[in-house]
Chains A and B, each alone.
Chain A
Amino acid sequence: MRKVMTGNYASAYGAKAARAEVIAAYPITPQTSIVEKLAEFVSTGELRAKFVPVESEHSAMAACVSASILGARTYTATSSHGLALMHEVLMWASGARLPVVMTNVSRAMAPPWSVWVDHMDSVAERDTGWMQFFCESNQEVLDTIVMAYKVCESRGIMLPAMIIEDAFILSHTSEPVDVPDQDSVDSFLPGYDPEVKLEVGKPMGFGSLVRPDQYMEFRYKSMLAMREARNRILSVDKEFKQAFGRSYGGLLDEYMCDDAEVALVAAGSVAGTARTVVDRLRAKGMRVGLARIRAFRPFPFEEFRSLAGRVEGMAVLDRSYTHGAAGAFFTEILGALYDVPKRPAMKNYIAGLGGRDITPNVIETIFDDMFVRCKRGSDLQPEWMDVVGLPRRRS
C-alpha cells in the first residue's frame, strides 16, 4: 500500500518488513525517529522483535554482533558521530562474517557542528568490510533494506550492509512510499538460518587469536565474499523486480548514459535533482547523462570501465572530501580506469558539504564546465562548488 512517509519511517518499515528479530539502538539526530518507530512497532506487537536500548552506538553494534552470532536477524540505525563511534565494532561485524543490516542517516562530521547531510561519515567507513548502498528516495531506502538482508545472508557472502539515507533530504522528507505486503516480503526473504551459530549446549569460541599463518586466509575469504556480493546484488535486484516491480540498477544506476557525451557521477538524493537537470539539458539537445553510484562497496569497477568507453567526459560529484587527496569517488574511479583503452576526460567537483543545497544551477554549471573539459582534457585538481568568496575556476 502506498502512503506518505519520511525516509526514517521508510527505514523502520523496511526493518519491519524484513522481520528484524533484534534491534539495538541509541538515538542521534537525524536518525532518532527510525528507532522510535521501531520501538513503537515492537511495543504494539506489530513486530515480534527484541528491542535493546543501549547507552552508546558502540554498544548498539556490539549487541547486534552478539545477537547475530546467535542466529538472529539484526538491525540498527545511526548517523555521523554515532557511526564513527561504532567504527571498531563495524570491523568486528564484517570480520566475523555477520549479516547485520544498518541504516546510516548520512550527516556531516564536526567540528564545526552540523546536523545536515553530507557523505563524510559513510565514506570514512568504506574500509570496514561493509557493503554500502546509497539511496536516492524513501522507496529505495525501504526496498534496499529488504534486498540487503537477502544479499548479506547468502551462503558464501555473510557480510554486513549499510543503507545510506541522506540526512533531512530523505530522513525528514515525506513522500509516497509503497509498503509491500508482508506475504510477498516473506516469500522473497525467508527467515535467517545461518550454517554456524552459537547455541546453548554447543559452546564455541568466536574471535579467537589467530597466528600469522592463518590471518591472511580469513581476510582472503572476506575478499572473495565481497567479490561474490557483486553478482548477488545484481541477481537480487532482478528477483526484487520480479516480485515487486521495482529495480534500482544494481551497483551503478545509469540514466540516459548510452549516447551521452558527458556523464555526471553522483550518489544519494542529489541524483533526483540531477535527473531533472539531465532532462532539461536533453530538451536543449545536450547529450548528458547520470551515473548514480548505488553500491560504493562493492565498488562498481566493471560498470565504470564500461561507462568510460561510451562517454567523452565524466564529472564526478563528491559530497565528502578526503583531505590530502580528493573526493573518494573520484580517486577510486580514476584507479578503475587506469588501463581502459579509451579514458574520458575527468574532473572532480566537491559540493553539498554540511547540508549546502545542491541546486539545479550547481549541477548545470558542472555539466557546462565538463563540456569544456572534454575538449581540453582532464583536470585532476578538485573544484569546490558554490563556496562563498571563492571564484569559479574556468575550464
Chain B
Amino acid sequence: MHSLIEVRFHGRGGQGVVVASEVLANAAFKMGFEVASFPFFGVERRGAPVTAFARIDTSPIRIRSSIYEPDYVVVLDSSLLKGVDVLEGLKRSGTVFINYPDGKCLPTLPGDFTYFTLDATSIAAAHGIGSKVAPIVNTAMMGGFSRICDEVSLEAMVESILEKAPVKKEENAAAAREAYERTREVST
C-alpha cells in the first residue's frame, strides 16, 4: 500500500511549499520513477500553514488517499516546530529536513529520527529569491533534499527547478547547488 518513498512538506503560504512538492516529483520522474505530488489546501493565505505531499515509486501510483506515515518530513519554516506536530506519523527511522539558521541549536526533538538542517532562508535571500524579509526557500530546500535522498540526484533536481521556477531560473538553480553543499546531518 505504501509507495517506495513518501514525503510530507510543511511550510507557510508564500514559501512555495506546493511547488517544492512538484519540483521533487518532477525530478524523481526524470530519474525514471513514477510520481504523484499533491497539496492539502487548508487556507490559501500568505503566512498560513500549508502542507503538501509527494509519492515516488517504481510502479504507477494508483492510491489517491493522503499520506499518513511519511518516510521524510521537510519543514520549510522552523516556526512551525512549535504549534504543528511535524513529526506526526513519521516512520521509525524516518528523516526530518528542517530549514534552520546556521549556528543555532535545534530544540530538543525525539531521538528516533535522523535530522538534517539547512539555512535555506539565508541562501534564498543571498540569491535574491523572493524578498529579503520573505525569501522563497523551496528551491534551496529541494537542492538540499537531493543530498539526503539517494533516489534523486542534484542534477535531476536542478533540471526540474529550471522547468518549474516561473522567474529567476538560474538564481534558483544556483541556490539549489549551494544548498546541496551546505546541508548537514545534526544530532539533537
Contacts and interface: CB of A to CB of B under 8 A. Distances in A.
B31 to A, nearest CB: 12
B22 interface: yes
Nearest to A30: B41
Given A4-B35, A115-B41, A176 B63 contact: no
A280 B38 contact: no
Nearest to B27: A4
A174 interface: yes
Contacts of B61: 175
A8 interface: no
A3 B39 CA distance: 19
A172 B38 contact: yes
B37 interface: yes
A102 interface: no
Interface centre among B34, B61, B63 (most CB of A within 10 A): B63
Nearest to B36: A175
A276 B22 CA distance: 23
Interface in A279-331: 280
Contact of A269 (B34, B37, B64): B64
B167 to A, nearest CB: 15
Given A4-B29, A115-B41, A360-B1, A174 B63 contact: no
Interface in B1-40: 1, 18, 21-22, 25-26, 29, 34-39
Contact of A272 (B22, B26, B62, B66): B62
B66 A174 contact: no
B54 to A, nearest CB: 9
A62 B176 CA distance: 48
B108 interface: no
Nearest to B29: A4
Nearest to B40: A168
Main secondary structure of the interface of A (DSSP, over half): mixed
Interface string A151-169: 0000000000000001011
A174 B65 contact: no
Interface string B66-79: 10100000000000
A172 B37 CA distance: 8
Contact of B65 (A3, A172, A359): A359
Contacts of A166: 64
A238 B36 CA distance: 28
A357 interface: yes
A201 B61 CA distance: 55
Contacts of A360: 1, 63, 65
A280 B65 CA distance: 15
A43 to B, nearest CB: 16
Contact of A174 (B35, B41, B68): B35
A4 B22 CA distance: 9
Given A4-B35, A172-B39, A273 B29 contact: no
Interface in A255-284: 269-270, 272-273, 275-276, 280
A174 B26 contact: yes
Contact of B35 (A175, A269, A358): A175
A393 B39 CA distance: 33
A174 B38 contact: yes
Contacts of A280: 1
Nearest to A171: B38
Given A174-B35, A360-B1, A4 B41 contact: no
Contacts of B63: 272-273, 276, 360
A105 to B, nearest CB: 13
A168 B65 contact: no
A204 B51 CA distance: 55
Nearest to A170: B64
Interface centre among B22, B26, B37, B38 (most CB of A within 10 A): B38
Given A4-B22, A360-B1, A360-B63, A169 B38 contact: yes
A250 to B, nearest CB: 20
A168 B39 CA distance: 8
B62 A276 contact: yes
A280 B1 CA distance: 8
B62 A174 contact: no
Interface string B32-60: 00111111010000000000000000000
A168 B41 CA distance: 8
Contacts of A357: 65-66
A40 to B, nearest CB: 12
A304 B1 CA distance: 29
A173 interface: yes
Given A276-B1, A280-B1, A174 B64 contact: no
Q: Which 4 A-B pairs have CB atoms at the shortest separation, nearest pair first?
A: A272-B62, A173-B38, A269-B64, A175-B36
7 contacts: A172-B41, A174-B37, A175-B25, A175-B61, A270-B64, A275-B62, A360-B65
Interface of A: 3-4, 30, 115, 166, 168-169, 172-176, 269-270, 272-273, 275-276, 280, 357-360
